[in-house]
A = this chain, B = another copy of it.
Amino acid sequence: MTSEPAESIRTAGLRVTAQRLAVLGALDGMPHADTEALHRAVRRTLPGITLQSVYVVLGALTEAGLIRRIEPAGSPALYERRIGDNHHHAICSRCGAVQDVDCVVGHAPCLHPSDAAGFAVQTAEVTFWGLCPACQNA
């Protein structure tokens, strides 16, 4: 039901290239991957692609709103394909594992600060830090 990747790229006003399709495709199996991991994955189908091109592709797709970039403290930037819903992340402070977390039901207010000192708030980003199930046993 997801619209064709090629079409969504075109609709965003971008040219459809093998590199962009490959990055989007790789991202499907890697919900929160960094640039290097994506480069490794994409290389399997596109052996010649350079790391720098993956950076450029990710930048373009992010700017076009086709993917989302998150930049957790102490980690390189991660990319995800799930967009449009306002979801947040739980990150393991020990191993770095990332889990999507739906916005707390009925608490959308947490996205509207009582006092933002005159800021015109556009988005709210919530990150939960803790231990993932695996790291709790250690």
Question: CB within 8 Å of B: which residues of A?
Answer: 69-71, 73-74, 77, 88, 90, 92-93, 99, 101-102, 104-105, 107, 109-110, 112-133, 136
Contact = CB atoms under 8 A, between A and B. Distances in A.
Contacts of A128: 113, 116, 119, 121, 123-125
A119 B92 contact: yes
A121 B132 contact: no
Contacts of A125: 126-129
B124 A114 contact: no
A17 to B, nearest CB: 26
A101 B115 contact: yes
Contacts of A88: 113
A88 to B, nearest CB: 7
Given A101-B113, A104-B109, 12 more contacts: A73-B77, A101-B115, A104-B110, A104-B114, A110-B126, A119-B131, A119-B133, A122-B129, A122-B131, A124-B127, A124-B128, A125-B127
11 contacts: A69-B73, A70-B73, A90-B119, A90-B121, A113-B128, A118-B133, A119-B133, A122-B129, A123-B130, A125-B127, A125-B128
B117 A101 contact: yes
